[in-house]
Amino acid sequence: MSDIAQPTKIRLRVEGMDCASCATKIENALQRLPGVQDVVVSVPAGTVIVSHDGSEADDGICQRVSDLGYRVAQVDAAGSSNHRQQQANDEASSPEDGHSHLHEHTSSGGAWWRTRKGILTIASGMALAVAYVLGKAVPTTEHWAFLLAMLVGLVPIARRAVSAARVGTPFSIEMLMSVAAIGAVVIGATEEAATVVFLFLIGELLEGVAASRARASIQDLTRLVPKTARVEEDGQVREVQAETLAVGALIQVRPGDRIPADGMIVSGQSAIDEAPVTGESTPVRKGPDDTLFAGTVNGDGLLRVRVTAAAADNTIARVVRLVEEAQESKAPTERFIDRFSRFYTPGVVAVAILVAVVPPLLFGGVWSNWIYKGLAILLIGCPCALVISTPAAIAASLSAGARRGLLLKGGAVLEQVGKVTMACFDKTGTLTAGKPQVTDVIGLARSENDVLGFAAALEAGSSHPLATAILAEAHKRDIPIPATSESEAVGGKGIRARVDGLHVFLGSPSAAAEIVSLKPDDELRFAGLTDEGKTVSVLVIGQLLAGAIAMRDEPRPDAVKGLKLLNEAGIKTVMLTGDNQRTAAAVGKQLGIEVQAGLLPQDKQRIVAQFRNAGWTVAKIGDGINDAPALAAADVGIAMGGGTDVALETADAAVLHGRVSDVAAMVDLSKRTMVNIRQNIAVALGLKAVFLVTTMAGLTGLWAAILADTGATVLVTLNALRLLAPPGADQADEK
């Protein structure tokens, strides 16, 4: 009983599984094994997750998949990091056996025509060409020549059909194809039967090529991380495998090199090209204490970097993992299509039988004509294009989003984001950068540079956010920082020390007023800065009011643009913050956003619930830590920032690179995806409807029927691939 309560989960990486028919066959086959409790098949990710009670060994599960003609490339405990670490290596494995809708060509890294399926398609085409020439040269051999040509392609198809039928999938596309081809031979349409088999193989080939491209889009990220890294130990630098880097290791990154691990800069400055990971075209200038992402490119300076994440847990590995797990969950639309197809296919078979039998029996129709039409309907009715229409679009969107730092945990979240009508933002770290910056330096008895230099001297060595802001500004202006002595903190007031022989104090205006008298104009000026949400530190040198420094957590550079994009999309925005009303109002005025301030985490949760009860579809955007209750209460919780574990794990979605405008981009991606899905469904059902009418009218036959199936599948997959391109691009993702 304990095994049942805690089932064992394994994840299989299956090569050759590139269509809905493949997923159905594998799911049905595994569910019939003893002890198997649940099977989750993801065609886009190429994975199968099996929950079982241990009564069936992992080898038995793999064997059942292999019996269907697929290749199990890898087996891991579901949720382990091992399979993620090895994904790129798996892509280099070369499947040489079993069924494949031609994911093999990408897995092996070789040309499609060298794969088993490619060879079979070419052989079928050559046999068809030989049969055509032989039939024209020696007409008496035509029937047998086309029969042999048909068997070249049909025998492997029929073998897969029988295997699938034995383990619970009698209505597979291979079975329908086999019945149609054999039926065509029976009624004398041997040439057409051979042609249809060849077209079917071509359709499968194209389908696999298109599907593998979507899968490769996210896997390409893993190739951004370099294979080696330069580790610094005891003053010596040596080259090691990047995957062996441990957290805390010190590495050197030379100009022009890719950064081999997530880390923090210890020393050095450089322009970092983050385009491969974030899509940003402009390099970002970074220096000490700034974070770096694995896979980005160092520009013009030598950097010493402290590793902050092992290879299996760096930003790229976690993005790939999250997208894979998201692709394994189904959206509401996808679940509906799956349920519909379970009744649709048997219904089509029943209709095909009625079309073949009823007119000849009841109305004196010609048997061969109506059997032919029934066989065509079998092929027209295959649900592959319909079933793949939704997951193909969702997989492409999840991959495209991940490459831009938009991480969504599954198709259900992707659908829901596009329905959002209210966006509730946290302030600190979400709408703002999350760290104070110097906004004003005021020189009174001393120059601005003197004020900043003396203040930096007092704050040297402190890690307080305000101190860090002052030191950063002094460094930015290249202001020399004098030495200090006798430094001490004045509890709740500020800090004082001796600098260049002078007694210097830096603290709040009220604390400074206890040392020197403040003029009314100065007091008014400091109060005005405070009203703007800024923190004012006043510098006193001896008995003179030397000057003041104002600091504030400034809005992110794209905050105004991001909020404007949301408003233009018809989404109401509001700021929910625990900060004081004065500071929040100042930032809100800058951004043009409604503000509710002074809120505790439970207050944010309550307000989000109120919005939902009022009929809004609410997205809560926060840092994923103190906003956790509100994130959970919203229809969609979106974590903002930095690729931290909390940001990736807490919410339904995450904006990895901290851009406010990316929230609007996420909404746009969702809406484009739903339009794409509707287009796919229309193509899948529309082509079937057209060819159904033309077949019944005698205008088209088996060759058109196979185009209605595999052709539609290829079309909807190619249409889904358009989502890999940036918004507004004319073409799909570049090769």
Residues taking part in catalysis: 426
H/E segment holding residue 343? helix 332-363
CA atoms within 13 A on the CB side of 714: 19
H/E segment holding residue 408? strand 406-408
Rounded to the nearest 5°, which phi and psi values hold at 10? -125, 150
Two tokens at 215? 């899968």
Q: Of 709, 695, 683, whose CA–CA distance to 201 is shortest?
A: 709
H/E segment holding residue 539? strand 535-541
Two tokens at 705? 């029927």
Residues 425, 574: contact at Cβ < 8 Å?
yes
Rounded to whole angstroms, what are the CA distances from 406 to 82, 209, 320, 393, 409? Answer: 24, 26, 12, 16, 10
Residues 608, 620: contact at Cβ < 8 Å?
yes
Amino acid at the residue 618: V
Residues 64, 12: contact at Cβ < 8 Å?
no
- With 0-12 / 13-18 / 19 or more C-beta atoms within 10 angstroms meaning exposed / middle / buried, residue 352 is buried
Helical H segments across 68-189, by residue range: 82-85, 87-91, 104-107, 116-137, 142-166, 173-186
Ordered DSSP codes for 577-607: -SS-HHHHHHHHHHHT-EEE-S--HHHHHHH
> What letter would DSSP give residue 258?
B
Residues 28, 16: contact at Cβ < 8 Å?
no
Please state, in angstroms and rounded to a whole number, the distance separating the CA atoms of residues 76 and 79.
8
Residues 327, 42: contact at Cβ < 8 Å?
yes
Two tokens at 300? 């013009």
3-state secondary structure of 699: coil
> What letter would DSSP give residue 139?
G
3-state secondary structure of 570: coil
Sorted by sequence, the CB contacts under 8 Å of residue 611 that are 6+ apart come out as: 422, 424, 618
* Torsion on CA atoms 415, 417, 421, 423, rounded to nearest 10: 170
SS (H, E, C) 276-313: HHHCCCCCEEECCCCEECCCCEECCCCEEEEECCCHHH
> What letter would DSSP give residue 96?
-
Rounded to the nearest 5°, which phi and psi values hold at 381? -80, -5
Please state, in angstroms and rounded to a whole number, the distance separating the CA atoms of residues 128 and 198.
8
SS (H, E, C) 192-223: HHHHHHHHHHHHHHHHHHHHHHHHHHHHHHHH
Q: Of 584, 590, 542, whose CA–CA distance to 564 is shortest?
A: 590
